[in-house]
């Protein structure tokens, strides 16, 4: 990139899709900006983009990138999208569902995504990330992107008046003051029109033939990702497989794997409600309900054993 980074302004007037190229930063109509077009969606859309400076110069951007690379953890991206695309979302003052991201800090180094999300409630989750921030804060952190702003605010308010213990340590919960990037149009349609969530139930799963490692590997291969995006696996007593992912996007990819791989042709897969959508008051009643041995890792290489649930 030969220009300093720009910011994205959310304005009121609708535009048509064939005008998208005109509102992207000058000279930035390359394939790497396809995600911007995906966010706009087809036909009439709202927003318009307005450019303003984030970094004072290209040299300043490069310095920030290099500093980030030196401090990045093994599980983080060395060159995140913010530096690659050089734009950020700035909402209009009347825009709704803008502040949807919660930051959870003070997490022990061995904390899992399942341990985090079982202590989150108030609304459905779009995306969750576990971050290695040991060099910066001395602990792990998590970013939780809710579907709705009111859910994020409700969870933050609950955490301020009720201690949130994650992995036997008191966690710090706060809402980010930075606006959350809008959900892409195709993903929003899948959520609103087809009730997609980050959670799947799979009937007729061949648990005696498929090991945990095999299932996780097949999902990674289909999604074309290196990391493991499954945060919870369980086979209920009735034989139904429960799969919870770290995001709705990865759950949709998991659904695609079950409907395209021959090994799983006999399975019936459906999206189900996100347990994080339960009321925050339910956290008071949870106690150690979800800490039963084997609830998240009850699969073996010989097959997937039943749980007592």
Angle at 276 between CA 120 and CA 100, to 5 degrees: 75
Q: How far apart are alpha carbons 11 and 276 in whole angstroms? A: 32
Give the bridge partners for 89, in sequence order. 8
pLDDT of residue 77: 53
Angle at 139 between CA 66 and CA 197, to 5 degrees: 90
Q: Is the pLDDT confidence value at 299 over 60? A: no
What are the pLDDT digits (tens) for 84-97?
Answer: 445 566 777 777 88
Contacts of 274 (CB under 8 A, 6+ apart): 124, 125, 197, 198, 199, 244
Give the bridge partners for 202, in sequence order. 241, 269
10-27 residues labelled b (16+ CB within 10 A) or e (exposed) = beeeebeeeebeebbbee
Pick the most confident of 17-31, 32-46, 217-231. 217-231
User: Which domains are delineated in the chain?
Assistant: 8-90 (no CATH), 101-175 (3.30.70.330), 185-291 (3.30.70.330)
* Rg over CA atoms, the chain: 21
Q: Residue 48: pLDDT band by 50, 70, 90 thresholds? A: very low
Pick the most confident of 8-12, 259-263, 299-303. 259-263
Please report which helix (H) or strand (E) contains residue 193, including its range. Answer: helix 185-194
């Amino acid at each position: 990139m030969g220009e300093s980074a720009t910011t994205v302004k959310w304005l009121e007037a609708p535009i048509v899709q064939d005008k998208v190229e005109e509102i992207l930063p000058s000279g930035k109509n390359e394939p790497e900006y396809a995600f911007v077009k995906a966010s706009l969606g087809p036909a009439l859309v709202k927003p318009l983009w307005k450019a303003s400076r984030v970094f004072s110069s290209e040299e300043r951007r490069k310095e920030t990138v290099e500093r980030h690379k030196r401090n990045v953890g093994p599980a983080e991206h060395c060159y995140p999208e913010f530096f690659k695309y050089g734009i950020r979302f700035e909402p209009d003052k009347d825009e709704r569902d803008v502040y949807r991201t919660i930051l959870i800090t003070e997490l022990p180094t061995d904390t899992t995504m399942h341990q985090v999300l079982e202590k989150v409630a108030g609304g459905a989750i779009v995306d969750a990330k576990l971050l290695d921030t040991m060099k910066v804060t001395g602990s792990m952190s998590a970013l939780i992107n809710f579907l709705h702003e009111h859910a994020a605010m409700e969870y933050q308010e609950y955490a301020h008046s009720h201690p949130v213990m994650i992995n036997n340590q008191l966690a710090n919960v706060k809402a980010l003051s930075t606006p959350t990037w809008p959900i892409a149009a195709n993903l929003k349609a899948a959520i609103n029109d087809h009730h997609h969530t980050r959670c799947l139930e799979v009937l007729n799963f061949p648990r005696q033939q498929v090991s945990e490692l095999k299932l996780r590997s097949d999902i990674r291969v289909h999604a074309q990702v290196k990391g493991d995006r499954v945060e919870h696996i369980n086979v209920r007593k009735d034989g139904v497989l429960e799969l919870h992912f770290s995001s709705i996007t990865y759950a949709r990819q998991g659904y695609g794997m079950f409907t395209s791989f021959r090994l799983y042709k006999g399975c019936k897969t459906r999206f189900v409600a996100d347990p994080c959508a339960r009321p925050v008051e339910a956290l008071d009643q949870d106690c150690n309900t979800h800490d039963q041995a084997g609830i998240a890792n009850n699969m073996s290489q010989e097959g997937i054993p039943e749980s007592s649930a």
